[in-house]
Amino acid sequence: MPKKIFSGVQPTGNLHLGNYLGAIKNFVDLNNDKENNCIFCVVDLHAITVKQDKDQLKNNIRETTAAFIASGIDPSRSIIFNQSEVQAHAEGSWMLSCMAPMGWLNRMTQFKEKAGKDKEKASVGLYIYPILMASDILLYDTSHVPVGEDQKQHLELTRDIAQKFNKDFDCRDFLKVPEPLIQKDFSRIMSLKDGLKKMSKSDPSDLSRINLTDSEDEIINKIKKAKTDSFPIPNEDQKLINRPEALNLLGIYSSISNQNLNKTLDEFGGKNFSDLKVKLAEILSSKISPISNEIKKLISDKQYLDKLLLEGANKAEAIAGKKIKEMKKIIGF
């Protein structure tokens, strides 16, 4: 069955290996299947849930678009656009927020993590952000949503919201209930400095992540400095319990090499981390440096990127605008 794919990435800078292995690499595979209809969105409305620098935001929107293309998404076989250009996303988000109970949002762990201790100071936008995400997905009758593991709860909420809307307004199957596509293994890439913390754009230490714009030297240096432990690499995955840094580096190696963890353990079991690090830096450089170079090339052609986003927005508008009209009719406007 052809899939209707929708996914989004925030243009908040520092796109990293976690974004790539957890999501974008999967976007590329799905896009390579000519049967699928793919929509990839630069979710700039999501980005402003925390303060953004005006000029930086514009650059980041272009950089995220460039990263999609540089990673292998074919713009002639997908719709790529930025969210703020299609009004239906914000409109749909409002309508859905009027029927989503606060209790459901109160359960969202990502809000708790991002808001930190002083949640009174977090923006209302950060709190209702998962509803905007539901609107993004539901406006396109999406069947599948490729994401990293950290978005699982938001996907579950999206499914609940779709079902509640259909029930409340007695419109069975109007909002399609989407399936998450979360890779079975390595769907949560961890920080290079702390195997218990997710690799993240906002980590103050640049050494904690491999950025998609890093040069070969930077990649080699970061892998050299990545945290490990003092034991040799084991032969079986059971022996990786309570060894988060070891598991993370072996997971990254497996994911980027498209092989399972056991095969990686066959390769490195009994060896030292220095052996793994040499090979890991080599393969990461060979896969990430071409992406990094292509991002830099694409980003210098602002006109091309802006035109692509505009064309994408027009196509997205045609789909989402129609859905929002139907939604308004169902509600009674």
Residue numbers annotated as active site: 114, 198, 201
* Coil, strand or helix at 21: helix
Run of H or E including 168: helix 152-168
Q: How far is the CB of 162 from ligand TYM (least distance, A)?
A: 13
| Residues contacting ligand TYM: total by CB under 6 A | 24
Q: What are phi and psi of 171, to 5 degrees?
A: -130, 70
Distances 233 to 194, 220, 277, 281 between C-alpha atoms, Å: 18, 20, 12, 17
Q: How far is the CB of 270 from ligand TYM (least distance, A)?
A: 28
Asked if 100 and 161 count as a contact pair (C-beta separation under 8 A), the reply is yes
What value does the CA radius of gyration of the chain take, rounded to a whole number of Å? 21
Nearer to ligand TYM, 63 or 136 (CB): 136
Q: Does 137 bind ligand TYM (CB under 6 A)?
A: yes
Rounded to whole angstroms, the Cα distance separating 324 from 237 reads 48
Nearer to ligand TYM, 10 or 285 (CB): 10
Which is it for the CA torsion 7, 91, 104, 122, positive or negative? positive
Per the structure block, which two tokens stand in for 202? 């906002």
> Among all chains, which residue has been given the structure tokens 């974008």?
24
> Among all chains, which residue has been given the structure tokens 């596509």?
181
Which of 75, 148, 195, 251 is in the footprint of ligand TYM by CB under 6 A? 148
Q: How far is the CB of 77 from ligand TYM (least distance, A)?
A: 19
Specify the stretch interacting with ligand TYM by CB under 6 A; choose among 17-25, 55-63, 114-122, 161-169: 17-25
Q: Does 145 bind ligand TYM (CB under 6 A)?
A: yes
Nearer to ligand TYM, 192 or 299 (CB): 192
Nearer to ligand TYM, 113 or 266 (CB): 113
Burial label for 91, CB within 10 Å (0-12, 13-18, 19+), is: middle
Binding-site string for ligand TYM from residue 183 to residue 212, where x marks contact by CB under 6 A and - marks none? ----xxx--------xx-------------
Residue type, 172: R
Distances 184 to 148, 248, 303 between C-alpha atoms, Å: 10, 15, 39
Which of 43, 80, 192, 220 is in the footprint of ligand TYM by CB under 6 A? 43
Asked if 131 and 97 count as a contact pair (C-beta separation under 8 A), the reply is yes
Run of H or E including 181: strand 179-181
| Residue 131: closest CA among 155, 167, 163 | 155
Which of 8, 13, 244, 251 is in the footprint of ligand TYM by CB under 6 A? 8
Q: Does 18 bind ligand TYM (CB under 6 A)?
A: yes
Nearer to ligand TYM, 107 or 307 (CB): 107
Which of 3, 4, 10, 249 is in the footprint of ligand TYM by CB under 6 A? 10
Q: Does 9 bind ligand TYM (CB under 6 A)?
A: yes
Nearer to ligand TYM, 23 or 96 (CB): 23
Where on the chain is the footprint of ligand TYM (CB under 6 A)?
A: 6-10, 18-19, 22-23, 43, 46, 133, 136-137, 145, 147-148, 150-151, 187-189, 198-199
